[in-house]
C-alpha cells in the first residue's frame, strides 16, 4: 500500500455529461428507405446538449477526517462521489484516493473505498425471505467479516430486536439500517456515502450518523458524507465542503463556515398585505442573505428569512419600513445563526 499523506486529493475536476436534446417526430415520408434508422443515429449523435456537472473542483481530505459535502440538487455532489469511487472518470483534472489515481490506478483506488449510493440499494443483494440475522451471516461469510462485530453494529443501530424477522417484513427505514450494516461490511480506509439518511426518521438518521462518527473515531476511517440538509453536519463534521453549480463555494470547519459567512443572527418574518417588492426593501439593509418564500401572493403573504451581521440596528428599521408600506407582520422569530444560515448564504440565499 502506498503511504499517502492525504486520503483524497482532487485537482481541478471537470465532468460533463452529453445527453440527447430530445426527439421530434420525423415526416412520414422519412420512414421510407431506412430513414427511421438514419434519423435515430443522427439524433443520437448530433443533437447533443452538454451538461457541466463539475466545473473545476479541487479539494484535499486528510486521513481520518469526517467531511460533509453539502449542496443543492444538481450541484454535482453525486458526480464527485462517483468519480472518487472510480465509477465514472472525470472529463479532465485528476483525483487520488489513498495515493492511487482514480483513472490510471483504478483497480487499486477502487479497493480503497466503500461506496454506498443509497442504503436501500445495499439490501438489493439480500434475500427478503431470510431473517435479518441469516442475511447478515451470509454476507459476513461472503466478505470474510467477523459476525461478532456485525452484532455490535446491529446493536448500535437498534437492530437487535429485528434480527429474527424476515428482511422483507421490515419497514423501509428498518431495511435501510440493515443496508448500512451490509454496506459497511467492506472495511475500507475511505467511506463514500451519498445521502445515506434519505427516507429515514430523524432518530434513525441520527443513529446512522453517530455510528459513522464512531467508526471514524475508532478506526480512523475517512468519511465523505453527502447530503443537502445543512443541519446534518452538526456534531459530526470536521469539515464542510459546499458545492454549488459544480464549484466549491466554501470549505471550512462548521464553526468557521458560520463565521466566514458573516451571519450572526437570522430572523424569520412572516408578513401579509405586502404588495411591494420585498426583496428591494430588505436589500437596503446590511443583509448577508435573503430567502424569500411566497406563501399566498393573493393576500400578499410571504415568509422572509434574513441573515444579518447584527440585528440590533437594522431589524427595527426594517420592520418599521415594512409596516409603513402597509404590510402586517404575523410572526417574528429571531435566532443565533447556525450552519443552515451559512449554507443559505453560500448557495445564494441571494442578498
Between 78 and 122, CB nearer to Mg ion: 78
| Contact in structure between 138 and 130 (CB atoms under 8 Å) | yes
Query: Residue 302 — φ and ψ, nearest 5°?
Result: -140, 160
Minimum Å gap between C-beta 70 and ligand ATP is 10
Instruction: Closer to Mg ion by CB, 195 or 265: give it.
Output: 195
Contact string (CB under 5 A) for Mg ion, positions 71-100, x = contact: -------x----------------------
Taking CB within 5 to 8 Å according to partner kind, which of ligand ATP, Mg ion, none is near residue 71? ligand ATP
Nearest distance in Å: CB 194, Mg ion: 6
Nearer to ligand ATP, 4 or 14 (CB): 14
Number of amino acids touching Mg ion (CB under 5 A): 1
> Which of 272, 270, 281 minimizes the C-alpha distance to 320?
281
Instruction: Identify what 79 binds: Mg ion, ligand ATP, none; CB under 5 to 8 Å per kind.
Output: ligand ATP
Q: Which residue is nearest to Mg ion (CB)?
A: 78
CA nearest to 145, candidates 101, 184, 94: 184
- Rank residues 41 and 51 by Cβ distance to ligand ATP and give the closer one: 51
φ, ψ for residue 173, nearest 5 deg = -65, -40
Least CB distance to ligand ATP at residue 301 (A): 29
Angle, in degrees to the nearest 10, between helices 172-183 and 202-219:
10
User: How many C-beta atoms surround the C-beta of residue 218 within 10 A?
Assistant: 8
Interface residues with ligand ATP (CB under 6 A) are: 17, 19, 51, 53, 71, 73-79, 228
Residue 175 binding Mg ion, by CB under 5 A: no
156 class by beta-carbon count within 10 Å (0-12 exposed, 13-18 middle, 19+ buried): middle
254 binding partner (options Mg ion, ligand ATP, none; Cβ < 5 to 8 Å by kind): none
SS3 letters across 31-64: HHHHHHHHHHHHHHHCCEEEEEEEEEEEEEEECC
Residue 223: strand pairing partners: 66, 191
Residue among 235, 244, 265, 271 at smallest CA distance from 350: 244
76 binds, among ligand ATP, Mg ion, none (CB under 5 to 8 A by kind): ligand ATP
What is the pattern of x (binds Mg ion, CB under 5 A) and - over residues 302-321? Answer: --------------------
74 binds, among Mg ion, ligand ATP, none (CB under 5 to 8 A by kind): ligand ATP
Query: What residues contact 289, with CB distance under 8 A and at least 6 apart?
Result: 263, 306, 307, 341, 344, 345, 348, 349, 350, 351
Amino acid at each position: 500500500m502506498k503511504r499517502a499523506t492525504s486520503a483524497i486529493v482532487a485537482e481541478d475536476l471537470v465532468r460533463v455529461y452529453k445527453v440527447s436534446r430530445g426527439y421530434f417526430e420525423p415526416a412520414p415520408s422519412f420512414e421510407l428507405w431506412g430513414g427511421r434508422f438514419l434519423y435515430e443515429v443522427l439524433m443520437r449523435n448530433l443533437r447533443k446538449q452538454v451538461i457541466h456537472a463539475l466545473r473545476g473542483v479541487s479539494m484535499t481530505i486528510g486521513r481520518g477526517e469526517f467531511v460533509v459535502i453539502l449542496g443543492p440538487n444538481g450541484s454535482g455532489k453525486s458526480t464527485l462521489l462517483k468519480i472518487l469511487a472510480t465509477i465514472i472518470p472525470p472529463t479532465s483534472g485528476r483525483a487520488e484516493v489513498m495515493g492511487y489515481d482514480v483513472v490510471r490506478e483504478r483497480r487499486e483506488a477502487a479497493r480503497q473505498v466503500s461506496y454506498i449510493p443509497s442504503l436501500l440499494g445495499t439490501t438489493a443483494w439480500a434475500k427478503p425471505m431470510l431473517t435479518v440475522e441469516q442475511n447478515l451471516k451470509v454476507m459476513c461469510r461472503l466478505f470474510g467479516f467477523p459476525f461478532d462485530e456485525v452484532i455490535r453494529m446491529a446493536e448500535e443501530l437498534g437492530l437487535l430486536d429485528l434480527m429474527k424477522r424476515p428482511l422483507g417484513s421490515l419497514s423501509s427505514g428498518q431495511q435501510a439500517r440493515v443496508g448500512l450494516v451490509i454496506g459497511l461490511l467492506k472495511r475500507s480506509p475511505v467511506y463514500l456515502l451519498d445521502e445515506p439518511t434519505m427516507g429515514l426518521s430523524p432518530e434513525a438518521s441520527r443513529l446512522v450518523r453517530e455510528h459513522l462518527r464512531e467508526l471514524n473515531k475508532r478506526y480512523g476511517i475517512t468519511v465523505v458524507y453527502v447530503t443537502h440538509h445543512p443541519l446534518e453536519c452538526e456534531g459530526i463534521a470536521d469539515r464542510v465542503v459546499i458545492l454549488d453549480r459544480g464549484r466549491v463555494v466554501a470549505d471550512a470547519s462548521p464553526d468557521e463556515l458560520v463565521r466566514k459567512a458573516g451571519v450572526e443572527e437570522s430572523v424569520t418574518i412572516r408578513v401579509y398585505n405586502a404588495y411591494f417588492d420585498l426583496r428591494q426593501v430588505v436589500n437596503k439593509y446590511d443583509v448577508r442573505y435573503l430567502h424569500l418564500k411566497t406563501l399566498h401572493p393573493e393576500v400578499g403573504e410571504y415568509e422572509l428569512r434574513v441573515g444579518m451581521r447584527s440585528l440590533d440596528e437594522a431589524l427595527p428599521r426594517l420592520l418599521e419600513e415594512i409596516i409603513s408600506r402597509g404590510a402586517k407582520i404575523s410572526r417574528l422569530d429571531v435566532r443565533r445563526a447556525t450552519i443552515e444560515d451559512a449554507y443559505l448564504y453560500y448557495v445564494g440565499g441571494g442578498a
